[in-house]
Structure 1
């Protein structure tokens, strides 16, 4: 871990660092900014009260609750190693953070920028309460100002986006080294609780992301270890050929849960892929992983460009009809009781484990939208509740894409589940595993 030089300025003051989806010390520009300028620093996370969506779905299902606890416990351990710690504020950020600032005599909150409506509203509320909020865009590969086009002119088709980056030879920023020191904990800080971990629900032996096991815990140490091990192994070279697998831990990289909570930096992943190529030569596997990381980037930039429009009924397609919602059919879909064996197996795995392969996410989403004729927003809400790798950008972008309300030039994707089963589960092993064959 590299040290840093603190900038001693006349206005150094007590600051609050608000962790959102950036639970790490490596490649942490916002945290580094605060560490260089604060006389004392109070790292916090805000845990809002439990709530449900308009679809009757909890915002945070049991798997995500456990995963979140693992993430914050791991971060707390890392901060304690540097003489600090993570404080947990229970309540909405708009109330909890201003109250803490008054107790500390602080007026500045530093955090990462999340370009989604609810997250932007949280920051707006803090500013309305009189706090200075310093946001940093740090969850992507590229600084928006370094792109070969203005964000407002983001190509509306992914292939065009990728081609423009290639022509301009755009390269991601190198990841920053991990912080090795932090400002002291504020002397005026009240007694604040630390993070805790909810009991882990029993996970079936066939889970593709067994987060209950130490090697799969959703914290920075496990994420970095997984990245190093995957890039040193042989599975990565076969990734393009195996990525559509349905069962097991080895068919895909499994980076997404650590990326989603911010325990792993995407720039760190990109740099690790480059280092792998430098040692062993470029493979189809590393090339395809970069391709998929660019898709992740595209959905982030799409939020910067289109914002709230992505959350409206029609998304980016003003001609799209108003979606309908059928509660009974939706409930059967959520519970894996539609009568379609592959879809039901997928939904049972999701509910049982908090994870699902990319192939099956598309199949299950397509079935809800095109066979059950249900509202894409209801499907997105269920995935938000369940997935341990839930990411607001990718979840919204992918559901819009399948629904024909996003950036798909074909106007949506419809998957035939019987054909998908014949191609990807020809022997029925996956359906048998989840009790539908």
Structure 2
């Protein structure tokens, strides 16, 4: 009997999960596991909790959905509380586990977690699976990745590189060890993690407290289906810079971030939509944005921890930081109405439009002269769709410390306000003017 652990990380789904299928093929007994951080209120270097309440609640619904799907196979999800190198080796010893299988995440902390497990004598087998395109299919090596996204996109499209088809869910899952009491162990894990409930906000553009926006594969696939059925891809490019509302953007990002929905599933369904209803600039632009997501992943494969230095990839001096100004920005008290409205929405809902993310980031870096890493950490704590690759890549992009040659993006706030909230609708929604 071979017992293995499948460690769910940012891939909370059964369909199109190559790492899980690899584990299943090697196991006669399989223990699905998720590791909660030991202290959700643990402070960052910038003085605030690393996991905000919105992220906690969205994750809780994603895990509940995953557990229910596993139960339908006669299995279940074991939730542990603590760092992986603290809690997984004990489980390995208790059940005589041969190996741990998981997805590969090319970010410093996530790679350090694997190193700590291996240093503890645990065999860990990883599979790269979070990108649309497979790195092995790219027409260049990791070290030769183009330094500018437009160059990357042009090369990919000229070379006719396409994603692999998504894999179906497993036909069966090996049973749990007979003496593993998942309900009792999960009860203890929840007591330790002390989950919080958040209040609903009817203004939210992603009302995650409603069942259709819960954080799991069930809601994710239903959302994808209705988005395509309503032919919203055709209008995506026209609406994507709007500031509020459920339908102005795809809203795929929260489910992509936790892995409840795979990017290859989105692409396959999008191509089926285009085959049936025709392609246009809107549907193309979804592909364009998914390529951006890939590019930030491949930058991590190329540069790794260099992306996390204060200077990023640049030769610029270390960034300044004004703690008082940063605190005002976090609280939405800068005095700039559009910025403050955006920060209020983020705090109230855990979500913010892509346009406003760029605006508030630019304001923090270029107007308040604060450290871009502090802003990235605040987004990590607050956003329900936090993705380590995209978050880091976007903040470096705005700060001018990534690969882009234009030395950052400094947004003209009056122009942004005129272009995107000329009548003040958004500001009135979130501020008392």
User: Which TM-score bucket, shorter chain as reference?
Assistant: over 0.9
CA distance in 2, matches of 1:49, 1:103: 20
Structure 1 position 52, deviation (Å): 1.4
Counterpart pick for 1:129 among 120, 133, 146: 120
Structure 1 position 187, deviation (Å): 2.6
Please give the per-residue CA displacement for 1:82-132, whole angstroms capped at 9, x wherever unaligned: 000000111110110001100011130000000000000000000001111
Aligned partner of 1:275 in structure 2 is 272
Question: Residue 371 in 1 paired to residue 403 in 2?
Answer: no
What does 1:372-411 correspond to in 2, within 5 Å? 372-411=368-407
What does 1:176-195 correspond to in 2, within 5 Å? 176-189=167-180, 192-193=185-186
Aligned partner of 1:57 in structure 2 is 48
Question: Residue 38 in 1 paired to residue 27 in 2?
Answer: yes
CA-based RMSD: 1.2
Aligned partners of 1:219 and 1:263 also within 8 Å: yes
> 367-376 vs 146-155, which deviates more?
146-155
Aligned partners of 1:25 and 1:178 also within 8 Å: yes
Structure 1 position 199, deviation (Å): 4.3
Aligned partner of 2:250 in structure 1 is 253
Moved over 3 A (4+): 188-191, 194-200
CA distance in 2, matches of 1:293, 1:133: 29
CA distance in 1, matches of 2:20, 2:72: 16
Aligned partner of 2:322 in structure 1 is 326
What does 1:116-155 correspond to in 2, within 5 Å? 116-155=107-146
Aligned partner of 1:7 in structure 2 is none
Aligned partners of 1:151 and 1:304 also within 8 Å: yes
Aligned partner of 2:221 in structure 1 is 224
Give the TM-score normalised by the residue count of structure 1. 0.95
Q: Structure 2: which 5+ runs fail to align? A: none
Aligned partners of 1:104 and 1:188 also within 8 Å: no
Aligned partner of 2:4 in structure 1 is 15
Q: Structure 1: which 5+ runs fail to align? A: 1-11
Structure 1 position 152, deviation (Å): 1.4
> 199-208 vs 32-41, which deviates more?
199-208
Counterpart pick for 1:203 among 190, 196, 200: 200
Aligned partner of 2:67 in structure 1 is 76
Secondary structure at 1:38 match in 2: coil
What does 1:226-375 correspond to in 2, within 5 Å? 226-317=223-314, 319-375=315-371
Aligned partner of 2:96 in structure 1 is 105
Aligned partner of 1:5 in structure 2 is none
Secondary structure at 2:4 match in 1: strand
Please give the per-residue CA displacement for 1:125-161, whole angstroms capped at 9, x wherever unaligned: 0000111100000101122111100011111100111
Structure 1 position 436, deviation (Å): 4.9
Aligned partner of 2:411 in structure 1 is 415
Aligned partners of 2:56 and 2:196 also within 8 Å: no
Question: Residue 27 in 1 paired to residue 16 in 2?
Answer: yes
Structure 1 position 263, deviation (Å): 0.1
Structure 1 position 407, deviation (Å): 2.1
Structure 1 position 234, deviation (Å): 3.0
Counterpart pick for 1:94 among 71, 77, 85: 85
Aligned partner of 2:150 in structure 1 is 159
Aligned partners of 1:103 and 1:188 also within 8 Å: no
Structure 1 position 188, deviation (Å): 4.6
Aligned partner of 1:4 in structure 2 is none
CA distance in 1, matches of 2:426, 2:338: 8
Aligned partners of 2:54 and 2:384 also within 8 Å: yes
Please give the per-residue CA displacement for 1:2-60, whole angstroms capped at 9, x wherever unaligned: xxxxxxxxxx6100000000000110100011111101000000012222110012110
Give the TM-score normalised by the residue count of structure 2. 0.96
CA distance in 2, matches of 1:366, 1:390: 18
Question: Residue 66 in 1 paired to residue 57 in 2?
Answer: yes
Aligned partner of 1:6 in structure 2 is none
Secondary structure at 1:110 match in 2: strand
Secondary structure at 1:192 match in 2: helix
Aligned partners of 1:200 and 1:212 also within 8 Å: no
Aligned partners of 1:40 and 1:185 also within 8 Å: yes
